[in-house]
């Protein structure tokens, strides 16, 4: 028993001696510290690494809005690829009746007074032309074809500029005896540098007068009862129409021509398209090829299982026609 105690006492003295030497020697202390860290790291449990997203697989069924339809097959996309495309704004449960759409916009945006009342203001009138209507692809056959087929009570145009296509649609609905309201969504700011091409559009204190010239054009065409501006960005305007319950039978997309702008406008506009309605737009064939509007349109159609039809330079998607 005594021998065992002497043995433990001897080992204790040895350990104390080694510890004292290590702490008095900085190099040895650092080596011991690094060894301890390495042993602790190696012995710790490994974090769980999720498997990489599965590759798209042909022949999968549609699921949770993530299905991509093609002419030959259906592809199941990983949901994570669609996360950034979701729009979470809640739309009104009930839609505004077509006959109340005009007054709803006037009340909510213009404080109850039509923007055409007492127009133009004296300090602007001398700067406006009686008529300055300009657009691109604004008189294509697609407008008459769709209006004749859909017979829309409410038309929503995203991207109006000086109102050429809106006024053309107003004339077409009038010829068909339709009581249609056309809402023109545009911030009426043009784009940086647009006045290099439109030098006759005046500017006052840095504010280009596109909006006032648009109103003047509508008055000149005697279309104030059927054409109403919604002078905000497409994103904010479409979001609010959704919240207010304003829906369209026919929606034209012709604002930003890059992929991101077109993609956002199409997705937001689709949410306020009345069931059975039609959404369409310009610039399907441009120098941007499949990097701009066309890419956005095709991707939207694939994801939602819809068919893209072509009418001249315009793309057309009928909500009631699947691919």
Distance CA 266, CA 292 (A): 13
Q: What's the pTM?
A: 0.74
Mean pLDDT of the chain: 81
Distance CA 274, CA 250 (A): 8
Which of residues 281 and 59 earns the better pLDDT score? 281
Task: Provide the pLDDT confidence category of residue 57 given band limits of 50, 70 and 90.
Answer: very low
Q: Which two tokens stand for residue 195?
A: 């006045």
pLDDT in tens, 218-255: 999 999 999 999 999 999 999 999 999 999 999 999 99
Whether the predicted pLDDT of 66 surpasses 70: no
pLDDT in tens, 256-299: 889 999 999 999 999 999 999 999 999 898 877 778 999 999 99
Which CATH number fits the domain 87-318, given the four candidates 3.90.850.10, 3.40.50.150, 2.60.120.200, 3.30.360.10?
3.40.50.150
Distance CA 82, CA 110 (A): 37
> Residue 47: its pLDDT value, please?
46
CB proximity list for 205: less than 8 A, separation 6 or greater: none
Q: Where are the domains of the chain?
A: 2-43, 87-318
Q: Which two tokens stand for residue 238?
A: 């479409």
> Residue 238: its pLDDT value, please?
96
Work out the percent of the chain whose per-residue pLDDT is above 70: 72
pLDDT in tens, 132-143: 887 777 789 999
Query: Which of 36-50, 99-113, 180-194 has the least mean pLDDT?
Result: 36-50
């Amino acid at each position: 028993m005594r021998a065992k105690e002497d043995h433990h006492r001897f080992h204790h003295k040895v350990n104390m001696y080694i510890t004292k030497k290590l702490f008095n020697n900085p190099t040895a202390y650092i080596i011991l510290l690094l060894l301890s860290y390495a042993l602790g790291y190696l012995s710790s449990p490994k974090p769980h690494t999720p498997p990489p997203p599965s590759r798209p697989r042909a022949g999968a069924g549609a699921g949770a809005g993530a299905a991509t339809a093609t002419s030959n097959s259906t592809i199941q996309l990983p949901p994570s690829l669609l996360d950034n495309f979701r729009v979470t704004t809640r739309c009104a449960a009930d839609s505004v009746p077509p006959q109340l759409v005009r007054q709803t916009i006037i009340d909510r945006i213009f404080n109850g007074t039509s923007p055409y009342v007492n127009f133009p203001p004296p300090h602007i009138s001398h700067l406006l032309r009686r008529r300055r209507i300009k657009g691109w692809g604004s008189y294509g056959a697609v407008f008459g074809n769709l209006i004749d087929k859909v017979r829309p009570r409410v038309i929503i145009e995203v991207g109006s500029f000086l109102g050429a296509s809106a006024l053309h649609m107003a004339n077409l609905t009038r010829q068909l005896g339709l009581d249609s309201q056309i809402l023109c969504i545009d911030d009426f700011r043009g784009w940086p540098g647009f006045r290099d091409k439109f030098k006759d559009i005046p500017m006052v204190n840095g504010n280009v007068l596109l909006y006032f010239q648009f109103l003047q054009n509508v008055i000149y065409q005697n279309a104030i009862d059927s054409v109403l501006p919604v002078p905000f960005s497409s994103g904010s305007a479409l979001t609010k129409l959704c919240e207010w319950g304003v829906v369209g039978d026919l929606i034209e997309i012709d604002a930003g021509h890059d992929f991101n702008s077109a993609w956002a406008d199409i997705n937001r506009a689709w949410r306020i398209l009345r069931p059975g309605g039609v959404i369409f737009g310009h610039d399907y064939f441009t120098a941007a090829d499949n990097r701009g509007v066309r890419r956005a349109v095709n991707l939207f159609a694939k994801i939602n299982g819809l068919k893209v039809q072509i009418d001249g330079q315009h793309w057309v998607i009928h909500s009631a026609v699947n691919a």
